[in-house]
Amino acid sequence: MIAATAFLGLVLAGGTWSYPALSARDRSSGRPLTTVALVQPNVPLEETWAPSSKTRVVRKLLAMSREALKDKPDLIIWPETSFPHFYWQLKDLFAEVEEFARQNRVSLLVGAVTRAGDDFYNSALLITPDGYRGMSYSKRHLVVFGEYIPLREQLPFLASIVPIDDFREGETDVIFTLPNGARFSVLICFEDTISGLARRDAANGADFLVNMTNDAWFGDSGQQRMHLENALFRSVENRRPLLRATNTGETCAVSSGGKAGPCVEDDRGRRVLVDGITVLRVGGVGVRSFYTKYGDVFTLACGMGILIIVIWRVSNSRRVKADG
């Protein structure tokens, strides 16, 4: 027991010492430093898809992004589905977003719905100073009953209970490259709770991870904090900074050691149901963690070790009883 406690203490101390904060190791690895602005617009759910509010929502995001320009960001990140409705049907409004990126020589990462044939996707679009050139990532892991109905054809009555159309899953991993050479990947909504997705992105060369999510569904509840705390593990596992841009909270940067901050918050320190921006500088850590290289090998080895101990104890107990 003492040995196990001592070992755990050494692991915790080593992690804290090696990966302290976003402003230290995450900014000094030799990879390109990128100034990033995270935007939290705090748009109520009922306004997100209301036809009367689409222009107001986008222009609020543009106004907040304009405020961030004083810090000269390389990249501005908006939340999941931040561009309302279908961008190809709102060409003039989407052109305003492209013109903002072009005039200010800044890249924008925008959440939007995309389409390929008859299939629709929950996507992230990268708009560079040269405009949108089809650089997008589509969500690989969808929310059941939120983005698709399972067994729709076999159980058609479910469609009347949950009247939604199905999104399609993205089929490819995507690593975006910024004009300055920095590389990053995107995890949409609760994809930041799925360790395998972040591991693949880190292995594919992402310098940092981005999580775009809405979370307005949770209102003013502890679910917002729980989602952030799940995201911390993706940074620690892969030794990669993770930047979260959410609609209503909590919008935070997470260091490669799992420390959250800076975050969007008001004067009272409130992070949920407030709007604001936070700007930070981030770079790739330049190392591949054990988990990034080998995945769940350590966990499986621990499980096998426990199984072997249990089998040995049971066998030994039976042998003692037989001898007695």
Question: For the chain, which residues make up each domain, given as ranges?
Answer: 17-288, 290-324
Residue 207 token pair: 């310098």
Q: Does 153 participate in catalysis according to the annotation? A: no
Superfamily of domain 17-288: Carbon-nitrogen hydrolase (3.60.110.10)
pLDDT at 20 over 50: no
Over residues 147-176, the pLDDT tens digits come to 767 766 666 656 665 555 678 889 899 999
Q: 11-15, 68-72, 99-103, 154-158: which has the minimum mean pLDDT?
A: 11-15
Whole-prediction pTM value? Answer: 0.85
pLDDT tens sequence across 249-291:
899 999 998 999 999 999 898 999 999 999 999 987 778 888 8
> Which residue is catalytic, options 54, 60, 147, 189?
189
Structure confidence at residue 65 as a pLDDT band (50, 70, 90): very high
Q: Which of 69, 2, 68, 9 has the alpha carbon at shortest distance from 40?
A: 68
Pick from 39-48, 171-180, 313-322: least confident = 313-322
- Known active-site residue 302: no
98 part of the active site: no
Say if residues 240 and 26 touch (Cβ distance below 8 Å). Answer: no
